[in-house]
């Protein structure tokens, strides 16, 4: 085998290995969010295209605050789609059993046709739990 061909094959193998590592890291990052369902539940609804609102309900036994939501606004139509994420914070203290509201507005721009279907998806990405010190 020629030395140049060997170097080329080694370079291709290295590139493929780097791509595999990148894809594995990306997939792990998407799965890496903790499960906040023991603490809060999100009830979101679409007001109209580009506007969503809802509540975060504390279903756990401890107070929570600094709840961060990822609100994904999506438009789908025949031949295309468009989606954007918005970070929404609910900084208030939410005691067990209480709920707090949130809202998110996203303008899709001129690229989205008038007949596009709109959907919203809300995910809790972080929160802070407050544990009371023993007395």
> Any idea what the CATH number is for the domain that residue 53 is in?
2.60.40.10
For residue 10, what pLDDT is reported? 65
**Contacts (Cβ under 8 Å, ≥6 apart) of 127:** 36, 39, 40, 64, 65, 66, 67, 68
| Together in a domain, 25 and 44 | no
pLDDT given for residue 28 in this prediction: 46
Asked if residue 21 and residue 44 are part of one domain, the reply reads no
- Over the chain (135 residues), the average pLDDT of each successive run of 10 is 67 56 50 84 88 94 94 91 93 94 88 87 93 71
> Which structural domain range is residue 120 located in?
40-129
How many domains does one find in the chain? 2
25 with 50, same domain: the answer is: no
Same structural domain, 27 and 68: no
pTM of the model: 0.71
């Amino acid at each position: 085998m020629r030395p140049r061909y060997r170097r080329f094959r080694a370079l291709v193998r290295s590139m493929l290995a780097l791509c595999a590592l990148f894809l594995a890291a990306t997939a792990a990052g998407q799965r890496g969010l903790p499960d906040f369902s023991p603490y809060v539940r999100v009830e979101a609804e679409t007001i109209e295209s580009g506007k969503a609102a809802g509540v975060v309900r504390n279903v756990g036994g401890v107070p929570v605050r600094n709840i961060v939501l990822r609100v994904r606004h999506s438009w789908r139509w025949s031949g295309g789609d468009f989606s954007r994420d918005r970070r929404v914070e609910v900084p208030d203290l939410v005691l067990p059993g209480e709920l707090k509201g949130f809202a998110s507005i996203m303008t899709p721009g001129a690229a989205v046709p008038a007949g596009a279907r709109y959907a919203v998806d809300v995910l809790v990405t972080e929160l802070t739990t407050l544990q009371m010190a023993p007395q």
